[in-house]
């Protein structure tokens, strides 16, 4: 099978698998990460086959929905790629990226070993910023019954992954801006993503500023 049809088949497989998702890890998140990864990948002169496959497979199974198995996504990606007979070297690279991409409350300290991994991680993080980042955060809040905002609940930092998992229910959406969204700008790996992140970060700050002013009836 040629590269184009491998990518097409993989996209069809992921689209079908994620059809039932409700958390913001839906197919259209994957689609956006895929497109953004392509934009970054071309500029950074990466291996686009690996970039595209990893972007398409990066959320195939999320630890939050796999009863705590944080390797479930990588295993599922490997199984699929073996089934359609992709080269072992490519499979190893792609599954490494899928396994190490998640943010996990800032507790994921793994530094991506390949430029392709850095690019997909940047693209995934960019999708939590800007207008889409705002929309996703409130969608997530709605799905988990979180409050939009409560001035009496202060933002927190997380010691480790376990700490982060326990804290998920007591969060407010506005606090999530301080706990994650506003910090992402400084986590970009590639020069191209750093540029894109600047505009998306500015949008987050403007949104927050207006939201908090309106909350107090100031504008």
Q: Given CA atoms 219, 209, 207, 105 in this order, what sign does their dihedral have?
A: negative
The residue within the footprint of Ni ion, chosen from 44, 59, 99, 116 (CB under 5 A), is 59
CB of 127 to Ni ion, least distance (A): 6
Residues of span 105-144 touching Ni ion by CB under 5 A: 124
The DSSP 8-state label assigned to residue 180 in this structure reads T
Residue with tokens 């690996």: 50
Positions that interact with ligand ADP (CB under 6 A): 24, 102-104, 124, 128, 133, 136-137, 140-141, 146, 168, 171, 173, 176, 180-181
In the bound state with ligand ADP, the residue whose beta carbon lies nearer, of 117 and 141, is: 141
Beta-carbon count within 10 A of 57 CB: 29
Does 99 bind Ni ion (CB under 5 A)? Our answer is: no
CA dihedral of residues 126, 5, 15, 191 (deg, nearest 10):
0
Q: Which residues pair with 172 in a beta bridge?
A: 147
Q: How far is the CB of 87 from ligand ADP (least distance, A)?
A: 27
Q: Which is nearer to ligand ADP, 181 or 197 (CB)?
A: 181
Structure tokens that stand for 145 in this block: 């019954």
Per CB under 5 A, residues contacting Ni ion are 59, 124
């Amino acid at each position: 099978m040629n590269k184009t049809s491998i990518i097409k088949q993989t996209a069809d497989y992921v689209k079908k698998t994620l059809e039932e998702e409700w958390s913001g890890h839906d197919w259209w998140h994957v689609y956006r990460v895929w497109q953004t990864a392509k934009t970054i990948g071309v500029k950074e002169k990466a291996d686009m086959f690996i970039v595209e496959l990893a972007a398409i497979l990066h959320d195939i199974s999320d630890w939050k929905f796999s009863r705590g198995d944080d390797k479930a996504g990588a295993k599922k990606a490997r199984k699929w790629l073996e089934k359609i007979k992709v080269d072992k070297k490519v499979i190893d690279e792609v599954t490494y990226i899928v396994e190490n991409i998640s943010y996990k409350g800032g507790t994921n300290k793994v530094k991506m070993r390949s430029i392709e991994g850095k690019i997909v991680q940047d693209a995934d993080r960019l999708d939590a910023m800007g207008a889409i980042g705002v929309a996703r955060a409130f969608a997530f809040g709605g799905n988990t019954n979180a409050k939009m905002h409560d001035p009496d609940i202060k933002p927190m930092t997380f010691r480790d992954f376990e700490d982060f998992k326990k804290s998920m229910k007591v969060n407010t959406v506005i606090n999530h801006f301080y706990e994650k969204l506003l910090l992402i700008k400084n986590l970009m790996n590639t020069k191209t993503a750093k540029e894109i992140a600047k505009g998306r970060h500015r949008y987050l700050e403007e949104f927050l500023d207006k939201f908090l002013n309106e909350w107090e009836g100031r504008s």
